[in-house]
Structure 1
Amino acid sequence: MLAYAYQPLVATRPCGKNCARPGDLPCPDRDNDGIAEVNCSKTSRLGRLPWRTLGLGDIRDGSGERLWYAVSERYKNNTRVLPLNTDTPGSWTVRTLNGMVWDATQGSGVVAVIIAPMQPLLRKDGWLQQRDVLSSEEARHYLDLSGLGDNASPVEHMAQGFVQAPASLSFNDVVWPVTATLMHRRMQQQVLSELKRAFRCIGRACAGLPLSAAMADRSCLGDQSLSAGLCLPATSGLGRLPLAADANWPLALQQMLDGDAMHHWFQQNGWREQVFYQPGPQRATLVVAGEKLLPQMRLTETDKSSFAAYLEAATLQKLQIKDANAIDMPSNDSMEP
């Protein structure tokens, strides 16, 4: 599934507001043919794992059943909800009997859930599971109920999501959450990989390499289109990627860095706000900020004007930047010198 979300994203023409992007996950399979549905609404984000779409074999659990799958509203690939970046939480809650909770109501939900239904049983509500052609699309015949919730009827964005529980006479689902943190790390790696291709001239002198945009330049923030006069090259050190029409960035011709939110996933998902850039004489350093850690705040424009809101002390130290407000915690940033 993470491999599916890590796909080449070069756009050769404008793609409107529905561009393929890092973090995209397919809709569930709702008719048991292994193929993801074209789109998935609020009532159709739970179904079977689309194994054909994901390029997998016909995966079965220990009872011979196909796996079930739910995708987060913000991570589904059609119709896409914008923006999607490392500040985007998952929208499914998963609870366990030992007290561990991924809670969508507190911003710590998961981006997807995979479930092995195992053998049919008598659910705690008295529903006898029967698995035949007529019942193949009804979740209650496959997914179970516990005191913490019902895997057959989870509510997205709410505390009543999915349940992990020990096997019993009335519950034998095996539930695997795909956490936002795990997905965000893959998204960071993909963004960095795409940017490296846009900066492929950095291995030699690159006359068109612009200065960075100042952190205080608020026009660099958000996911709206940029136009001439916005997010300008301004500083000689670390900053955000500027809008520079004369920059020697080959992929700018393919809309990645041109600032138009109708052309590419980069601008329309707010990645310019989370990518940092330090030009040098012959090469540049690129940093993609990780998801915000507990002490970091990215709510206001004032928050977002500080390196410490995005980058940890260890990252800034490597970049020879001093910031007394930077948090001294293990860094989750991705960097490419």
Structure 2
Amino acid sequence: MSAAVRGDTPVRDTETVRPARPVRSARPVRVVLRAWGRSAGLHVAALALAVFLCGPFAWMVLTAMKSPADIFATPPVWWPHELTLHNFVSAARNDFLHSLANSAVVCAGTTVLCMLLALTACYPLTRPGLRGRSGVLGVILVSQLLPHAVLLVPVYRLAGDLGMLNTRWGLMLAMLAFNLPVGIWLLRGFLSAVPFAVEEAARIDGLSQFRAYWTVGVPLALPGVLAVTVYVFFTSWQEFVFAMVFLTDPEQSTTPLALLGFIGQHSVDWGLLMGASTLTMIPVLLLFVLVHRHLLGGLTAGAVKD
């Protein structure tokens, strides 16, 4: 090997050093395969859950579009040989639309009254200055521990004394009495997350304390308000026990009572029942489509406290 001399120190020729090739490891491949397997497992589980939840609804809609021969065929026919809308038309002609209208009026009235009263009650419960707030909330919570069946007879006697049996107002107030405590308890969590300083700033601008609450505080909690609104509407829409006890006049019957009328003593017209059940779902689906963008945020808006 040659060497050059600079002064007293020999200097060797430098050799080109090439970087070593990286050693391929099987660990990244294992990690990727594990991630793919986990993702595939989650997708399969989600698909199975979706089929489990949506399967009955799909079967209901398909049964509503089947002819009687396909409905009672043995073995069961999954897909109808001929799609028909006869069951929907028959359900609409059987005064079922009148029951839908009654349910819409009762549920809309119950929801509006419940939200107005619950939002008003939440004002002192979520703003500083109220003494005994914990006691009031405790009473509201304890009132929900009693089963509705226990209070059914007293509420029925009270409605009879007030002359509200066989009226939509009587059913509306009965459902309001049971939905209002739940609405207050849920709305309190959402409205407590709204900073009180925002309302104080609105009061500096000239708004009264109560008006600042309605025009500033409540709109900031809109996702939560919509979530509670949907909950109250769904609960009122599917109420069966109170409707069966309070309403004995067929002209005042709601949707659950009308569906019960399709079940005979010795036989069931499954096509007509499934057609009416499908029509019952339409208002609920329309409401969900209108508020679904805000519904997810409302379900988690009051879960975290700053």
TM-score, scaled to structure 2: 0.23
TM-score, scaled to structure 1: 0.21
Which structure has the bigger radius of gyration? 2
Higher strand content, 1 or 2: 1
Higher helix content, 1 or 2: 2
